[in-house]
Amino acid sequence: MEILEFIKRPWPWYVAGPLIGLTVPVLLLIGNKSFGISSSLRHICAACLPAKIPFFQYNWRREVWNLFFVAGVLVGGFLAAQFLANPAAIQLSAATIADLQALGIQNFSGLMPSDLFDVANLFTLKGLVFFVAGGFLVGFGTRWAGGCTSGHAIMGLSNLQWPSLVATCCFMAGGFAMTHLILPHLMKLF
Question: How many domains does the chain contain in total?
Answer: 2
Among candidate residues 88, 114, 140, the one where a domain is terminated: 88
Would you place residue 155 in the very low, low, confident or very high pLDDT band (cuts 50, 70, 90)?
confident
Helix (H, G, I), strand (E, B) or coil at 77: helix
Residues 108, 50: one domain? no
Enumerate the β-bridge partners of residue 112.
109
Q: Could you please report the per-residue DSSP string of 26-78?
A: HHHHHHS----STHHHHHHHHHH--S--GGG-S-GGGGHHHHHHHHHHHHHHH
Would you state the pLDDT for residue 75? Answer: 96
Going by C-beta distance under 8 Å and a sequence separation of 6 or more, which residues neighbour residue 20? 154
Of 110 and 160, the one with more pLDDT = 160
Residues 14, 78: one domain? yes
0.85 exceeded by the pTM?
no
Q: What is the CA radius of gyration of the chain?
A: 19
Of 173 and 84, the one with more pLDDT = 173
Among candidate residues 39, 67, 88, the one where a domain is terminated: 88
Ramachandran quadrant class, 179 (left: phi over 0; alpha: psi -120 to 50; beta: rest): alpha
Residues 60, 106: one domain? no
CB 105 within 8 A of CB 130: no
Q: What is the mean pLDDT of the chain?
A: 84
- Whether residue 125 is predicted with pLDDT greater than 80 in this model: the reply is yes
Would you place residue 110 in the very low, low, confident or very high pLDDT band (cuts 50, 70, 90)?
low
Residues 104, 170: one domain? yes
What's the average model confidence in pLDDT over 58-66? 86
Would you state the pLDDT for residue 169? Answer: 94
* Alpha carbons 15 and 174: distance in angstroms, whole number: 28
Would you state the pLDDT for residue 165? Answer: 93
What's the average model confidence in pLDDT over 139-163? 85
CB 131 within 8 A of CB 122: yes
Residues 64, 103: one domain? no
Residues 42, 81: one domain? yes
Residues 97, 188: one domain? yes
Residues 110, 44: one domain? no
Among candidate residues 66, 88, 110, the one where a domain is terminated: 88
What are all long-range contacts of 135-143, with beta carbons under 8 Å and residues at least 24 apart?
141/171, 141/174, 142/38, 143/38
Residue 138's domain comprises 92-190
Residues 153, 167: one domain? yes
Residues 40, 25: one domain? yes
Would you state the pLDDT for residue 138? Answer: 86
Residues 64, 138: one domain? no
Would you state the pLDDT for residue 1? Answer: 55
Residues 134, 188: one domain? yes
Share of the chain above pLDDT 90, in %: 11
